[in-house]
Amino acid sequence: MAPYDPTGPDRPGKIIALHLNYPSRIAQRGRTPEHPSYFVKPTTSVARSGEIERPRGTELLAFEGEIALVIGRAARGVDRADAWSHVAAVTAANDFGVYDLRWADKGSNLRSKGGDGFTPLGPAAIDARAVDPNALRIRSWVDGELAQDDTTAALVFPFEQLVADLSQLITLEAGDVILTGTPAGSSVVVPGQVVEVEVDAPDAPGAPSTGRLVTRVVQGDAVPGAFGAGPKVDDLQRSEAWGSAEAAGLEPAWRLTAERRERLASVATATLSAQLRKRGFDDTTIDGVHPLHPGETMIGQARTLRFIPARPDLFASHGGGYNAQKRAFDGLNPGDVLVIEARGEAGTGTVGDILALRARVRGAAGIVTDGGIRDIAAVAALGIPAYSKGAHPAVLGRRHVPWEVDVTVACGGAAVQPGDVIVGDGDGVLVIPPHLVDEVVDAAIMQEREEEYIAARVAEGEPIDGLYPMNAAWRARYEAAAEQGRETTDGQ
C-alpha cells in the first residue's frame, strides 16, 4: 500500500461515478439496470480524510462508501480482457450527496453530489496488480457502528467492464478515478457524526487495506439555491436517503407480512374474488392460465415482465445480452411472483428451466405467464409454483421480444402493477390491490364461515331457498350459533 493524496500531484482529472452496481443496493432501489449508467463529479469535490459541510437549510446528507479505481495508463477503446491492466490502484471513497438538491439534478447529480469535499478518497492505495478485482471488500462505519459490509464477488457490472465501457466513449487518463457504486447500508448522517470507509482484500497475500477514510460532518454556513434551485425534500427522497421508509421515521411501506400470507392462504381465490367483486373490482382474475402443480397455493407480490410482438430489428436491439427477461429473473426477491405479459400468445415459451431455477434460487413465490412454458417437465421438477397457458418447445424469439420490467402489464386480461398481491390456487390466479388486502381477507374469512354453516345445514337436509343466501330468519339463527361458539371458545 502507498499513501494516496488526491488533492496533491495525484489529483484526478476526471471523477466518473456509477449509479447502481451492488445487488444489495439494487434490491433497495427496486430496479435492475440493463447497462452501466454514470455521472461526473467535479475535481473540486475531491478531499482527503477531514470534514464535510452539510449545507445550511438541508437535512438529507447521505454517505455512500465505495471502491474507487485509479487509472494508471491511458485507456481508449480497450476490451474487457485488457481493461484491468489500465487500473493502477484501488482506494476507498465516500460518494456524499445531499438529497435535498436531487430534485433539480435530473440525474446529473451535480447539485446533490458535486459540492466541495463531497468525494473524499484515500488514505492509501492498493496496487491493482496485487489483488483480484472480484475479491475486494468494502466496509463503512458511522460513529464506530458497522453500516456497510459487502464484497465485489457478485457485482452486476464487474470493474473491467466499467473501464472497457467508459473507454469506448472517452479517453481515461492516468489519475482519473472511477467510483464503482455503493452497497446497501448508505444512510443519512448529521453534524457531529463521523463516517469511516475502508477497502481491503482479506484473502490476498498480506491482506492489503486502504486504511480508514475518515470524514466528520459539520454544519456549514453556505445556503444553496440563492441564485438557483434550493433545497426541497419529500418522503420519497427521505426514504431513499435513509435507505428505507422505516429508517426515515415514515409510515412503513405496505408489506405482505407472514401474518397476511397466512390469512390469505386460509381462504380460496373464489371467495376473495367474490369480495373483490362486491367492491367493484370485477376484472382481477388472470384468465386462461393453469397451475403446473395441481393443488398448490401461490401467494406473493407482483414483479412484472412485458413482452412485445416479435420483430427482427427490435429483437436484434433488445433480445440479446442482459435483456429485460434476464433482468426480471435476476431482480426477483424472496416472496415475489413474476407476472409475465405475453399477450395470451401460447405459441412459444416465455420461461424455461434455467430461468425458473434462477427464480427459485432467488426465493420467488411463483411465476405467472399468459404464454407458454418450455422445458415444462424440468420446470415442474423444480417445485416452484407456476401458472401458464401450457407447454411449448419454442424460444421467445419466435413470437416475443423481451421489452421492459417492473411496469404495469396486462396478463390474462387483468391489469397487474408491481407490488400487487397475487394469489393462486386450483381455481386460478387473482390480483389484489395492496390497499384492499386486509379488508377483503377479513370479509372472505367471514364469508367462508357463513358458507360452512350453510353447507352444514344443507347436509342436514335444509332447502336452499332462504338459506343461500341467508334471509333474516336464517341470519338470526347463524348469529346466535356464532355467538354461542364464541362463548364456548372463551370459556375454554
**Which domain range does residue 266 map to?**
258-437
Q: Which of 390, 408, 437 is the endpoint of a domain?
A: 437
Task: Please count the structural domains in the chain.
Answer: 2
* Helix-then-strand count for the chain, H and E: 13, 28
Joined grid coordinates for residue 284 = 382481477
Pairing of strands 372-373, 400-405: unpaired
Q: How far apart are CA 291 and CA 388, in angstroms?
A: 7
What's residue 379's pLDDT? 95
Whether a cis peptide bond, with omega within 30° of 0, leads into 123 is: yes
The size of the chain, in residues, is 492
Is residue 249 situated within a structural domain? no
CATH of the domain at 306: 3.50.30.40
pLDDT averaged per 10 residues, the chain (length 492) = 85 95 86 88 96 95 97 96 97 96 87 95 96 97 96 95 96 97 95 97 95 96 83 89 87 88 95 95 95 93 96 92 91 94 94 95 96 95 95 89 95 96 96 96 94 93 91 90 70 54
**pTM reported for the whole predicted model:** 0.70
Q: Are residues 264 and 236 in the same domain?
A: no
CATH of the domain at 127: 3.90.850.10
Buried b (16+ CB within 10 A) or exposed e, 417-444: ebbbbbbbbeebbbbbbbebbeebbebb
What's residue 411's pLDDT? 97
Binding residues for substrate: 352-355, 374
Binding residues: 352-355, 374-375
Is residue 181 situated within a structural domain? yes
Q: Are residues 173 and 64 in the same domain?
A: yes
Q: Are residues 195 and 332 in the same domain?
A: no
Q: How far apart are CA 206 and CA 70, in angstroms?
A: 21
Is residue 482 situated within a structural domain? no
Is residue 445 situated within a structural domain? no
Q: How far apart are CA 38 and CA 180, in angstroms?
A: 10
Binding residues for Mg(2+): 375
Buried b (16+ CB within 10 A) or exposed e, 471-482: eeebeeebeeee
Q: Are residues 161 and 19 in the same domain?
A: yes
Is residue 491 situated within a structural domain? no
Q: Which CA distances in Å does 115 have to 45, 137, 213, 224?
A: 6, 27, 18, 10
What's residue 226's pLDDT? 78
